[in-house]
A and B are shown apart, each in its own frame.
Chain A
Amino acid sequence: MTITFSLDGKEITVEDNATLLDAARENGADVPTICYHDATTANGLCRMCVVEVEGQRVLQPACIVKAGAGMQVQTRSEKVIRSRKTILEMLDSTMDLSEAEEVQTMMKDYSADVNRFPDAKRRESPVIDDNPMFIRDYSKCLLCWRCVQVCADDAQYTFAINFDGRGFETQIGTFFDKPIPETSCVLCGQCAAVCPTGALKPKREFLLEQGMTPQEISVLNTGRKKRKNV
């Protein structure tokens, strides 16, 4: 079954279970995404993919809204552009995007103003180095939820991490704030693989960035297992 609707003034036909994001990508319309990942369930969290649908009061997240027959959809209306730009400016004012290459590219594309919110409180927290495999630097986390999803039923069924705290204090954490090794974590690193900002990073990569040599890292690893770990 297919349906037909209007995308940026053009009549297009797609499968009837396609989302607006699928439809846009198939038809060459550029809809940017941050939290969306092909391997995870779409949640409409970051709102970067919003589009304007005629008759709808608010902008619609294209990653989860299904295309409907006869819809009139604008992917680059003024309202859409303004909304995406504001999202980027808010992210930039509160967190460290230095390793979020895709988001940086979007900042340029949307001419985001890095001084829009000069007094914003920044979400800052120390790097958590509590396990041998990866580090967690939540100053770089934009709460896309991909790590939580792959740890749960999008891949690993391990359920070691989840949202912790509320509102501005929201952060990804383990249950009861336990160190990673003491949780149900299987250390698969799938969370780091889907992280779009460098908040989660393999330990070895992190140590090399800190200026250690491969030889020094090997010695560190060999020495560490002798330590009493209680």
Chain B
Amino acid sequence: MIKPDRIVTTTCPYCGVGCNLQLHVKDEHIFKVTSPFDSPVNHGNLCVKGRFGYDYVYHPKRMTTPLVRRYLLEVKEKPAGREQVFAVSKDGQPIDSQISNLWDWVETDWDTALNITADNLTRIYKRDGSEAMAVYACAKATNEDNYLLQKMYRAIFRTNNVDHCTRLCHAGSVVALQQATGSSAMSNTASQVIQNDVFIVTGSNTSENHPIIALQMKEAVRQYGAKMIVIDPRRIELVDFAEMWLPLKPGTNVPVFSAMAHVIVKEELVNHDFIEQRTEGIDDFLKSLDKFTPEYAEEISGVPADDIRKAARMYATAKKAAIYWGMGISQLSHGTASALALINLAFLTGHIGREGTGLNPLRGQNNVQGASDMGCMPFHYPGYMRVDNPDNRAKWEKAWNIEEGGLSLKLGLTTTEILSHAHEGGVRALYIMGENPMMSEPNLNETRKHMQELEFLVAQDIFMNESGAFADVFLPATPFAEKDGTFSNTDRRVQRVRAAHAPRGQARVDWQIICDLAQRLESKLGVASAYWNYSNPEEILREMGGVNSDYAGITYERIDKVGLIYPVPTLDHPGTPTLFKETFPRGRGKFHALDYVPVREEPSDEYPFILTTGRVLEHWHGGSMTRNSVLDEAYPEARVEMNPADAEIHGIRNGDPVKVQSRRGEVILRVTVTEKTSVGVVFIPFHFAEAAANLLTNDALDPQAKIPEFKACAVQIFPARENDLPNAEIVLNRGRY
């Protein structure tokens, strides 16, 4: 038996649930992870990622030395056409998409790497100004890391070109909630699901993407008598526990939810008191509902009209009902409208502002809520303070020691726009902290061109991932197990992150890298310092909380054992598990009249299937962590899911290799024939570089939220040969898939 030298309590680095972890450390190495059974978040339960997926910290491919490109040291021209290969040798070699240009890297010391970075960033800034500078923050890093990164770009480069992967996941929900309520987070905590009488899960494969919240949903059904309605194109595992499953076609959320609203109004199931006292805009909304009859919705979505009626009645007549949703709502070219359709339902029935009710977007990343709260978005300072409001600007100018009127009032570019502006006269230098756009952006063939057009790219990461392969400087950073700070989980709980051991090799803690670089930038530009001499991460959080009142009452001491749920406006405030009890931040909740807009690319004779993308339990997003972990052994290859009826028509059997092709690209992978996906719809998880689903996806954007349409594009499927597979030796063999 191994006796730990110490047990370090921290927060899980994977999804937004924010499970509490205990890292058992022996000889500066984590050998086991457990969870305290009295944890208020996860009650001692963990999923496979949280319990076993920490070993990427020790992976041989982990980068722990600063790297710069040879041309920078030799002071030569940057070589053109930097390439990065997606797949893959056909001789059974492991997939290693970065190897192609590793020769060009030179190991160096921190001083050299940071000076080269500072020289090039200041050179480009002096030449082209603020517009040329952009930064991707990181929803996996701490609040402190993210706050400092946006501070560096806003204070030094005077640009709001700051964004992160929220743009690719819940931007639609964030914008919709902002418009309708003035807030942008879960209104209630996940643990309140056991108080629901009825709850809707839509566009969320919760069992795989928020496994511990799914356990609470199952518990609500099995132990507390709640009724669950699943509205999803896929027959996800939760359907086994559901009262009803409404299998809608991808991208037909608005007609289905609006038809539910239509039924609620027609059958007089509305909450008149709530509408009168708490909302506005009902008249226009009611007019817009006329055409959304259940029959009309059935025609578009394929969901039987009577099921829509039954679901509407169940939701409206429940004492306490809540809605939980995921990317299936937001990742559409009308993602904002989809989320607004859900918000309308809650306003109509008054299922908001009480315990056991609410509007609950399940956030994907461990700290995507926090990174958004920290202002890593092009329209907002920390605390969702608009950048185009001079009063907000004045507050941050004061906090950052900046001359009056110094900060930019101009809205910045979003994640997707930053790359599409990567050309002469547009964005020239990009700083990426921990993101992997070459896996996570839609239409990757296009993304690759943009990456190649950047003049200078800095990657601050723990692995040389598909995007780092395009970088000019690589700064080795630290994973969750090697740093202190805080994460804010999906239900707004701010929790401690603690280092289990020192960073490996020369890797440095992210916030220290940023402070070091920022000081070099300031001295090269000869500007007054915005202050970077923090001695610990808590000082950073306190600086931010000094202006952002949501976090004003949070100290490390107060969250030492149990996290606090913000808003925490004062040092003696107990936190706010349930929002909107009295009022909405914008005053009254606003109904939005909606129209049905089809997905941008509908199936045709040439491309007859709808492709929808998502994740699997064992993997995480672009795969930097999980594909460099034992998790990859549990789920080693990409699969495309296909309904048995479609498979039979095309003569495809389970395990056959196929080529999936869209108007933008193609991938080759094996088929899983399963009723989990509906007829006419195929599903590919986007974790696998060797068969990257995002080579196929459509980069059409939601006009308001700028979120891409990951959830629906048209594809065709052709038979392929074993030899065409990137690595035919690897076969997924799991009972549950």
A155–B212 CA distance with the chains assembled, in angstroms: 9
Within 8 A of B (CB), among A205-229: 205, 208-209, 214-215, 217-219, 221-222, 224-229
Cα of A12 to Cα of B634 in the assembled complex, Å: 53
Interface readout for A174-211 with B: 1 if CB under 8 Å, 0 if not? 00001001111111111001000010001111001100
Is A202 within 8 A of B52, CB to CB?
yes
Interface flag for B43 (CB, 8 Å)? yes
From known contacts A204-B32, A205-B31, A205-B32, infer whether A225 and B48 are also in contact, taking CB-CB under 8 Å.
Answer: no
Q: Is B736 part of the contact surface with A, judged by Cβ < 8 Å?
A: yes
Q: Closest CB of chain A to B60's CB: distance in Å?
A: 5
What does the 1/0 interface line of B611-630 toward A look like (CB < 8 Å)? Answer: 00000011000000000011
**CB-CB < 8 A to A221: which residues of B?**
55, 629-630, 632-633
Q: A15 contacts which chain B residues (CB < 8 A)?
A: none
Does B51 make an interface contact (CB < 8 A)? yes
Interface size on B, residues (CB 8 A): 48
B730 contacts A225, C-beta separation under 8 Å: yes
A11 CB within 8 Å of chain B: no
Q: Collect the chain A residues with CB atoms within 8 Å of residue B634's CB.
A: 131-133, 181, 187
| B46: interface (CB < 8 Å) | yes
In angstroms, Cα B249 to Cα A96, docked, is 55
Q: Which of B35, B60, B630, B730 has the most CB of A within 10 A?
A: B630
Tell me, yes or no, whether A99 is within 8 Å of chain B by CB.
yes
- Chain A, 155-175, contact with B by CB distance < 8 Å: what is the 0/1 string? 111000000000000000000
Contact (Cβ within 8 A) B1 A99: yes
Interchain CB contact under 8 A, B222 and A181: no
- Indicate if the CB atoms of A193 and B735 lie closer than 8 Å: no
**Residues on the B chain within 8 Å of A182, using CB:** 733-735
**Cβ contact of A188, chosen from B32, B37, B48, cutoff 8 A:** B48
Q: How far is the CB of A229 from chain B (nearest CB, A)?
A: 5
**Which partner residue on chain A sits nearest B1 by CB separation?**
A99
**A208 to B29 Cα, complex, angstroms:** 11
Chain A: interface residue count, which band? 35 or more
Do A229 and B222 form a contact, CB below 8 Å, given A39-B37, A133-B634, A155-B45? no
Q: Which residues of B contact A205 (CB under 8 A)?
A: 2, 31-32
Q: A203 and B630: CB pair below 8 A?
A: yes
A202 vs B241: C-alpha distance when bound (angstroms): 30
Task: Say whether B729 faces chain A, with CB atoms less than 8 Å apart.
Answer: yes
Give CA–CA (A181, B636) in the complex, Å.
12
Question: Which residues of chain B have C-beta atoms less than 8 A from A153's C-beta?
Answer: 222-223
Which of A178, A187, A202, A209 is close to B1, meaning CB atoms less than 8 Å apart? A209
Taking a contact as CB atoms under 8 Å apart, the answer to whether B58 and A186 are in contact is: no
Q: CA of A38 to CA of B36 in the docked complex: distance in angstroms?
A: 11
> Which B residue's beta carbon lies closest to that of A38?
B37
Given known contacts A205-B32, A228-B730, A157 and B222 CB-to-CB distance under 8 angstroms: yes
B residues near A186, Cβ cutoff 8 Å: 47-48, 211, 617, 736
List of B residues within 8 angstroms of A224 by Cβ: 633
Answer whether residue A1 sits at the interface, using C-beta atoms and an 8 A cutoff: no
Q: A184-B735, A193-B34 are in contact. Are A229 and B636 (CB under 8 A)?
A: yes
Choose from A183, A185, A204, A230 the contact partner of B55 (Cβ within 8 Å): A204
Other 19 A-B pairs with CB < 8 A, given A193-B35, A205-B31, A215-B60: A99-B1, A150-B45, A153-B222, A181-B733, A182-B733, A183-B735, A184-B736, A188-B45, A188-B47, A193-B34, A202-B33, A202-B51, A202-B52, A204-B55, A224-B633, A225-B632, A225-B730, A229-B732, A230-B733
* B-binding residues in A (CB < 8 A): 38-39, 99, 131-133, 150, 153, 155-157, 178, 181-190, 193, 198, 202-205, 208-209, 214-215, 217-219, 221-222, 224-230
